[in-house]
Amino acid sequence: MPRKKQPEEAKHKSNPNVLGLRADVVDQRITDTLELNYMPYAMSVIVSRAIPEIDGFKPSHRKLLYTMYKMGLLNGARTKSANIVGQTMRLNPHGDAAIYDTMVRLSKGYGALLHPFVDSKGNFGKVYSRVMAWAASRYPEAKLAPICAELFRDIDSNTVDFVDNYDNTMQEPALLPTTFPNILVSANQGIAVGMASQLCGFNLGEVCDTTIAYLKNPDCMLSETLLAPDFPTGGEVLYDPAVMEEVYRSGRGGVRVRARWRYVKKENLIEIYEIPYTTTTEAIMDKVAELIKTGKIKEIADMRDETDLSGLKLTIDLKRGVDPEKLMQKLFRSTTLLDTMSCNFNVLIAGMPRVMGVRELLEEWCAWRTEGVRRRVYHVLEKRREKLHLLKGLKRILLDIDKAIRIIRETESEAEVVPNLMIGFGIDEVQAEYVAEIKLRNINREYILKRTQETQSLSEEIEDLEDVLNRPARVKRIIVGELEEVRKKYAVPRRTGIVYDYEEPAAAEEAPAEDYPVTVFLSRMGYFKKITPQSLRMSGEQKYREDDGAFQSFETTNNAEVMFFTDRAKVYKTRLSEFADTKASVLGEYLPVKLGMDEGESVTCMVLPGDYRGYLLFFFENGKCAKVELSAYQTTSNRRRLTGAYSDKSPLRSVLFLAEDCEIAVYSSEPRCLVVNTALLGVKATRSTQGVALLTLKKGKTLDCACTLEASGITNLARYRARSIPATGALLRAEDARDKQMTIL
């Protein structure tokens, strides 16, 4: 009888490899995979690669500099860069290319740091050029710059911890004991997993002065001594006190830097000789070429890069009759000749990333440096105590040197010399070992007197060192003294100028957009559509998301100005011409994305201000109402975000735009209704006013919404009308009730 054929499923069950699956594969939730596999990698990048620590260095910087220090390159002659790269691979196994790139950035030739740590000779490229490549590592030479003495001064005094390298064959410092706040002096940036760091550099002299002032008074004004960031490429900082204060306070913000230029009248050309730290000459040239090609700039006859050994220089030949000042204002507005240096002071503190302001960084550095100085003092103290201990033993023996010689001579075995000295003079093994090693030539009166005097001086020094450890004020004085010494030896004048009084580049003159009738629609979830009358007639039903619906609509024109109020007490102003015409069959543009709102921010209402006549009424949950003139929102720019658009003391429930006073209906959650004339509400001078009490609420009840009397649908007006405010209103009858969940304008 023929064998019955197995079903296909049975085959697969009996042999899972038929489907190309391994029998030992175990199902795992993706969250477990992320936790077990991805998170260790992410933490490794954050902690061991991309984010600098309190000494101002990333691990790659620290490994390179320490290797050069151990090679004797602090005081010795330069050596080929390839030699340094090869030696550094004992600590950094990530490849020679990455090590050499690190060396380039720290070098004097590259020019990325105000105080380079690598004294270079040869072609190391330039920070302001993306195409000026550095030579291969076998050609340039390098050594440590003199300022590195401040990095390694206390390296052998137990000031920092040492850890094993990647293969446990040698040790390296976990941090470098810098005698000045290098974290604020050396610019640094890194991109980790889910976070980044961007530290701008400050002038060394200003940082030292600020740190000294902070040590003397932690509440000092930082801006008095720390004027502004300083960049190795020069330029000019456009000083904004509010922005600078925010950077100092939170460690976040943006500092605007402008290029420096001069006009050569004889040759009718402009020379740009310093550019912002954040850009390159190629980026500037490419953008100018694009502007010329598109016809947005017609004043330039030619532009070329004339950078040479004397430094950076971009030359712009002008056409006849061109005003150089107006041209540069246009270039500042359209190119990276005026750029923003973003600040994100993200630093590893005890292995944890923290975004800190300048004051917090100074606090952490001073605490860390205080501990380092204490460890150094304690290290020296232990050395002095050990030496004093030895000299005390020597002193006891030198009082009867003949006895010591006799004990040594009468001892038969060498191993018994130390024990016999211990017994004969009552000293310990360490002291006896020290005495036994003294040369015969040192047993003379001069040597004995010197050792006795040294004992006295050591005792005084030990007493002084113990006093330092017991008095924090003395430790502070030591740190201040070191900072003053660093400032005297290494501080240089600022490279980046500070401009306190400046004019903003004028807005570009754009041709006005075509004006034509449109109808605008806003949905409850913040989707916006602008539709022409022709398209509206041809379209069918408006399309919205399943959980969304119509909220507001207006007939207006394409050039009309529009304001969008949000739930974060902000208003976004723009023109309808910035939105593309669309159809009813699409969802429209999502306003939080289009207008660049903050995360979680949503639109509450739309207002067409027209000629800015009339009032805005803001109704708050606590029963208050603020009446603000619409002209309070008038600005000169077409698009601008205004903060403090209304009071944020209580949640906003409704907004009404009224051209003139009229009667309105206000509803509470009880439910009650109040009909009142807006003439009873006084006009407030500020946008953020809390308003006046309008609706008297019972405990636990809130103002629900408001609308015009025409939109309320109330039939018995006399029941709800009030002649003064605040008032409680009347209980809402069934025939007067209607859905009031949306704001009506």
Hey, which residues are catalytic here? 139
Cα–Cα distance between 593 and 609 in angstroms, integer?
A: 23
Residue 612 C-alpha from the chain's centroid: 40
Sheet strand arrangement including 79-80: 79-80, 141-144, 118-121
Please list, in sequence order, all residues whose beta carbon lies within 8 angstroms of the beta carbon of residue 620, skipping any fewer than 6 positions away: 626, 647, 649, 650, 651, 652, 653, 690, 691, 703
Using alpha carbons, select from 182, 230, 222 the residue that is nearest to residue 56. 182
Sheet strand arrangement including 236-238: 188-191, 196-199, 338-344, 252-258, 236-238, 497-499
> Contact, 106 vs 61, CB < 8 A?
yes
Q: How far apart are the first and last CA of the chain?
A: 87
The secondary structure of residue 637, as a DSSP letter, is S
Please list, in sequence order, all residues whose beta carbon lies within 8 angstroms of the beta carbon of residue 240, skipping any fewer than 6 positions away: 256
The secondary structure of residue 53, as a DSSP letter, is B
The pairing of beta strand 497-499 with beta strand 236-238: parallel
* Single-letter amino acid code for the residue at 599: E
Q: Quick count: other Cβ atoms within 10 Å of Cβ 46?
A: 21
Q: 705 - beta bridge partners? A: 667
What's the CA angle centered on 256, arms 250 and 262, to 5 degrees? 155
Within a 13 Å sphere around the CA of 21, how many CA atoms are in the beta-carbon half?
A: 11
Please list, in sequence order, all residues whose beta carbon lies within 8 angstroms of the beta carbon of residue 687, skipping any fewer than 6 positions away: 628, 632, 633, 642, 644, 645, 646
Using alpha carbons, select from 288, 285, 275 the residue that is nearest to residue 334. 288
Sheet strand arrangement including 672-677: 703-708, 663-668, 672-677, 730-731
